[in-house]
Amino acid sequence: MVIDIHTHTFPDALAETTIPKLEQMSHTKSFLSGKGSDLMASMQKAGIDYSVVLPVATAPKQVLRINDSSAAINEKFQETGIFSLGCMHPDFADYKQELARVAELGLKGIKLHPVYQGVDFDDIRTLRVLDRAAELGLIVLTHSGLDVGFPGVVHVTPAMVRRAIAQVGSVTLILAHMGGWRCWDEAEELLCDTKVYLDTSYSLGMLHPLGDGFYSKEQLPMMQEEQFMRMVHSFGVERFLFGTDSPWGGQVECVRQMEQLPLTSEERAAILGGNAERLLHLSELRGM
């Protein structure tokens, strides 16, 4: 089983305007259009059984609508294999009630993106969301580290994560991008002895540049294979979840990267899907 725990889609009309805008912001080229139908076709090519969509509320007023849309995506899960988490914005006033509604809708968890939301991960506004999610048994998957679309801006570092979990406690927390995009040394140093999960999205390989000359050749490589393998073995393979950040990572390419790493067959199976299935139980939702 292969589960991509980190993907993004948009309604078709919105995808047509949003993806080009994000490409210009990040100076990178998307692999897909951002439409759900395109993701389904990509999954079939890559041999991916399930993809998890991570919606981001960039403003509090978007939260209710996005969560309703996420629930609608999940109504078609039996047909599509695409499952959505919910969202939350740290400035959403009635976060306690809305997170309870997220749980009632069966969304399993929420996505936070501190860079787009402009709130530090150890800010009290984030901490109270984490605390409520923990009460409700909701998973929290957050962007971590820098963001390719916001050069130099960081609202969630491994140090912030460590301070946050020391105050919140037993929340099930997944840190995208191997614990902190371009903050991998700090993630390796500070997070090994915690219980956080790390997803592999947008970490291995090279950036996919737009071709506008923004990046030098030296800026294109991401995490080195040696560091990836070292972290898998020091953190424990059971804490790693396969993700692509589709449409910004190619699903075919990312599966191939995982197949080429010097992992044992058991380690590879755990990262590609076993660990995510244990957290999400997606096969049970499809009656398997």
Whether the CA torsion 7, 228, 123, 174 is positive or negative: it is: positive
Distance of CA 42 to the CA centre of its chain: 18
The one-letter code for the residue type at 176 is A
**What is the b/e burial string over 95-124, where b = at least 16 CB atoms within 10 angstroms of the residue's CB?**
beebbebbbebebbbbbbbbbbbebbbbbe
Contact (Cβ atoms closer than 8 angstroms) between residue 155 and residue 114: yes
Q: How far is CA 221 from CA 110, 215, 217, in A?
A: 30, 11, 8
Residue 210, number of CB atoms within 10 A of its CB: 15
CB of 58 closer than 8 Å to CB of 116: yes
Task: Using a pLDDT cut of 70, give the percent of the chain over it.
Answer: 99
Would you call 58 helix, strand, or coil by DSSP?
A: coil
Return the pLDDT at 288: 47
What is the structure's pLDDT at 198? 98
Amino acid at 153: V
Tokens linked to 69? 């849309």
For residue 287, the model assigns a pLDDT of: 62
As a whole number of angstroms, the distance between CA 144 and CA 160 comes to: 10
Beta-strand relationship, 172-175 and 197-199: parallel
pTM assigned to the model: 0.97
- For the record, the structure tokens of 28 come out as 């990178």
| Residue 116: strand, helix, or coil | helix
Q: Which fold has domain 3-285?
A: TIM Barrel (3.20.20)
SS3 content of the chain, % helix, strand, coil (to 5): 50, 15, 35
* Per-residue pLDDT, 284: 85
**Hunting for tokens 């629930």 — which residue is that?**
71
Number of helices and strands in the chain (H, E): 14, 9
The DSSP letter of residue 59 is S
Buried b (16+ CB within 10 A) or exposed e, 125-144: ebbebbebbbeeebbbbbbb
CA-closest candidate to residue 9, choices 40, 44, 50: 40
Series of mean pLDDT values for 10-residue runs along the chain (288 residues): 97 95 97 98 98 98 98 96 98 98 98 98 98 98 97 96 94 98 98 98 97 96 98 98 98 98 98 97 78
Residue 283 has a pLDDT of 86
Query: What are the E-state strand segments in the chain?
Result: 3-7, 50-53, 82-84, 86-87, 109-112, 139-142, 172-175, 197-199, 240-241
Contact 260, 245 (CB under 8 A): no
Give the pLDDT confidence of 217-243 residue by residue, as tens digits.
Answer: 999 999 999 999 999 999 999 999 999
What pLDDT does 285 receive?
84
pLDDT digits (tens, 9 = 90+) for 2-27: 999 999 999 999 999 999 999 999 99
In this prediction, residue 169 carries a pLDDT of 77
